Amino acid sequence: MEGPMDRLFGHSAFDLNRDGKIDGAEWAFINDTFFEDNNGISTGSSIDEDDDVLDEIEMAGLDRDELEFMDEDERRSALEDAGLDPDDFDDEF
């Protein structure tokens, strides 16, 4: 049975095993090539925002794992001591 990806990409450079059909691995390669940004993250993803928060926390010299295990008051204090506004991170932990 021929699918839409076979018609578009079969017998092309994306048909990695040259069988004329696009299997799951080949489709994943096509998806990565056409639909992901330069960082390997699917476009339109909220992961970018999570990365920004992690970068901000790491740049302040804090460890996200340690912050997760702190109680709320300790976490607020650690974030304040690092010069960050704890209210900006309420949804993160």
Residue pair 52/24 in contact (Cβ under 8 Å)? The answer is: no
Where in the chain are the domains?
4-35, 47-89
CA atoms within 13 Å, Cβ hemisphere of 14: 20
- How far is 7 from 42, CA to CA, in rounded Å? 24
Which distant-in-sequence residues (6+ apart) come within 8 Å of 60 by Cβ? Answer: 79, 82, 83, 84
Give the model confidence (pLDDT) of 20-79 as tens digits. Answer: 887 888 888 888 877 766 555 555 444 455 667 677 888 888 888 888 889 999 999 998
- In the structure encoding, which two tokens stand for residue 9, read together? 């990409």
| pTM of the model as a whole | 0.46
